[in-house]
Every structure is written in C-alpha cells, then in structure tokens.
Structure 1
Amino acid sequence: MRLLIVGTLNGQLSTATKMAMSKGAKVTHTETIDQAIETLRSGRGADLMMVDVAVDISNLIPRLQAEHICIPVVACGVETDARAAVNAIRAGAKEYIPLPPDAELIAAVLAAVAEESHALIFKDSKMADVVKLADQVAASEASILITGESGTGKEVMARYVHDRSLRRDKPFISVNC
C-alpha cells in the first residue's frame, strides 16, 4: 500500500509513519494540499491519504475530484475533537482516527479503507466474463490494452488487473489521454 500523509499532525507524524511502514506501507509526506496534488500529478500515486484535520479537507476533496483522482481520505486529529471528526466526514473523509495513534486501530482502518476503495461491483454476466479474463491476464507477464468509450471504467479495470498482478507493489500510474 502507498500512503500519502498530508499535514504535520503536531509531531504525531513520525509515529503514524512508522506504524504504517511496519505494516508494509510506502509512505510519502506533504505539508499542504498543493504539494499533495502535485505529488499525485507527478506519478507518485497513493492508495490512501491520511490528512491532518487542520488541513482544509473541504477544499481537498473537490480538488481531487476535479483532477479525477480517486483516493480514499482518512482524517487524523491530535485530540478527540468530535466537531473536527464530524466536519472531516461531512467534507468527504472516509474515517477519522484520533492521535496519538493506536497501532491496531490504524492497521484496521487503513486495511478496511484501502480494500473498500478497490472493490469491483457488478451484476452483468458479460462483466463477469470480463473480470474472469482480467484475473487470467493479471497472473501473467503479458501487456494488455484496454479500450472503450469515455467513462466506461477502463481505469477501474486497469487498477483491478494491477492490484492482482505480480507488479502490485509497484506504482500504478494513470495517464488520461
């Protein structure tokens, strides 16, 4: 998992980073929303963002959406401030974690949010055939080309294949052509 931490978290950053890295996460840190967006644009993607509630999450979420960047956001705060937690969730954060971090809580939330964000949900039997084919090619070293109309889910399918491939620990770089 690639984790992008945004903000300072009042000194709790190093503890949270160490916990995430001990669970196998690759961690990148930025202090501002602008730096976070630039990091994501540069191809250093992330599977999850941990964001200090002091950062304007109500500004971050629309900017991610405008860039077509789909990353779950988990808000973190140094105190158990119910108002900050509620505001973060209302702004679009998936979860709120009070700091100082509890190792088990962070591990559970990060795993749950990361898995949820990559779920592929479908009903159609033809889509089931596509997913079956994707599972077959994901296990190989073959290169694939996914084509289709705009908005049909090409990037979603590419992520699905990437997450099941031997390259899943390497960066997934989405290029909007």
Structure 2
Amino acid sequence: MDLAYRSGEIKDIQAHEVHENDEFEYELGLEPKLKHIPAMSNRGPVTMYYAVWHTKTGGYGFEVMSKDDVLEFAQKKSKSFHNGPWQSDFDAMAKKTVLKRSLKYAPIATDFVKAVATDETVKSNISASMEDEPDETLTIDAEAVSSVESVPQNIDPETGEVKE
C-alpha cells in the first residue's frame, strides 16, 4: 500500500471482508458498482473480500473475490500456504491478495509493478533494492525430472559420465 501511495497517483486504498449478513452488491461491465454496508451486529462468517482504490484524478478500480476463490488461489500460488501467515492470519492475507489483484489495473509506475512481483519470490539476502536480489524460488522442471528418472543406473545424472 505504501508503494501505491508513493506512486503519487493513488489517493485512497481499502480492503475489506464481507460477512454473510452484510449488505453487499457489486456489478462489473461498462458502469461498475460496489456497495457494502456492514451489518451492525451478528455479521456472520466471512464470505467475500474486496479491495478498491481511487486515483487523485478521479479514477477508481476494485476487485472482489469469494472466500473460496481466495483459498483456491492461496493453495495454488503461495509457497507458504501450509505454514505461515495463511494459517495464522487468513483474513489479512486474503485482503492482501485481493488488493494486489486490484492494483494490477491501477495507473501506477513500473517500479511499483516490479516491487509487487518481487513480493512473490524467495530471497536469501536482504538489501535496499530487493528486486535486484536473485529469485531463489524452487520450481520443478517436469522434463528434467523425467529425463533424470530415465537415466540408466551406471550413468551419473549430474555429469553424464559412465560409472565403472
């Protein structure tokens, strides 16, 4: 959020939970609309999350995700889903997710977009410019795995040399 404000384009950013008993309506299309009136009591369980931003020139955007959509997204995309903030503070992580998705459409600088992308990486070093640090996120190359599995026992898979 701080990076979005520092871009100089963003006037306001909000992210909220929507509970079962809240009044909530949204429409997409040529004239998008978003209305959320929280229930005064007995709000019920969280069902949706949304984020909205406004620019200093009057532009705006929003993103809405159901709790199930956020859960599915987190399970597919987050390397720390099974242990970490997704387990200890799901609502905060859900709001962060919907906020980042909404800001993809905001008129903000390239540096901001680069910083958001860096947030999804794994790094060993800490520096003033984290986006310059190498991404150490582990990925599995299915082609490489299948070729290693098919290497005969007398071949060293790392060097390709024939063992005696």
TM range (shorter): under 0.3
TM-score when normalising by structure 1: 0.24
TM-score when normalising by structure 2: 0.26
Structure ID, larger Rg = 2
Choose between structure 1 and 2: higher strand proportion. 2
